[in-house]
Each structure stands twice: as C-alpha cells, then as structure tokens.
Amino acid sequence: MKRTVALLLLTVLLFSVCACGKSNTKTLTQDEFSITLSDDYGMVPHISYFVSYETADKKAVLVTRNKKDIVEEVAGKPDISLLEYANLVIQTNRKGEDPKTKDGVTYYTYTSHTDGVDYTYLATVHKSENAFWLVQFVCETKEYNDMEDTFFGYAKSVSIKE
C-alpha cells in the first residue's frame, strides 16, 4: 500500500514539474476585438474601457476603442497613421513619449505610481476600418523586463473584425 501511494505521489509530482512554465493560451473575444492571452487572464468589467482582462497577480490588458471619424476630427485631418494616433493619445493623456514600431506593432511606454506601487504600461495602437484601438499591457515596473516579450506577443495576436 505504501509503495502504491509513493508511486502515485511521484507520478503527480512528475506531471506537476512537467507542467511548470507551460502556460496555455486562449483567444478572448469581445464584439469585433480578439486577443490571445495566457489562461491566467480573465475578463474584468471596467467602465472606462471597451474590455479589460486581469490576472490574479495584477497584470492587466486594457482596451480602448475610439471611433475613426472622431479621432480624425480631433487630429484635424483624415487618414492619420498609427504613429500619428499614438502621438495624439500621448499628447491628450500627457503620458508617454516617442512612439515606435517593433515587429509590426506601433507602441509607446509609460509608468504610473498608484497606491505606492510603480506600474509600467506597454501601450500599443491598432487601426480597423472604423476605429482606432489603444491596447495597454500593464504590470509592476519590477516585472516589466521579464514581461515585455510576452506583451509584444499578445499585441501581435490582436485581431479586429468589422
């Protein structure tokens, strides 16, 4: 009996060790917006965002949709680029600087201090036929270097169907 229990515990331990570091992903969809994130993320209602997702350890993805005609009116011209949209958001919110493009993703970063904790935001911008999208990936600043590549992977998974 002891041997059976020991073998069972060893088997469970081996499966647990093999599963460590592997994160399953899922595609989350809200209306026309889709993103692939790790299973750790769940949707959290937030009145300020089109949709938001969070993990138990306070990483977040915050999605804002702005109608294209309104953005172009504020910008004062039609057919603005993603870099122009990013600059407009930076000027409006007074957060971030120097938008860049990496691996096909237009982005900028900024930090915020909330309740005694520093957070870093990777703010990516996307464009669909009728809207501009701001997708912000957030984590504690001390974790950002470890999360940056993961956040870019998530940003590249964004799909918008209108």
Q: Rounded to whole angstroms, how far apart are CA atoms 14 and 55?
A: 26
Instruction: Report the chain's terminal Cα–Cα distance, integer Å.
Output: 61
Q: Rounded to whole angstroms, how far apart are CA atoms 35 and 158?
A: 5
pTM of the model: 0.84
* Four-way CATH pick for 24-160: 3.40.50.720, 1.20.58.100, 3.90.480.20, 3.40.1000.10: 3.40.1000.10
**By CB neighbour count within 10 A (0-12 exposed, 13-18 middle, 19+ buried), where does 19 fall?**
exposed
Q: How confident is the model at residue 23 (pLDDT cuts 50, 70, 90)?
A: low
Percent of the chain having pLDDT more than 90?
85
Q: How confident is the model at residue 13 (pLDDT cuts 50, 70, 90)?
A: very low
Q: Where are the domains of the chain?
A: 24-160
In degrees and rounded to multiples of 5, residue 155 shows phi and psi of -60, -35
Q: Region 117-141: what's the mean pLDDT?
A: 97
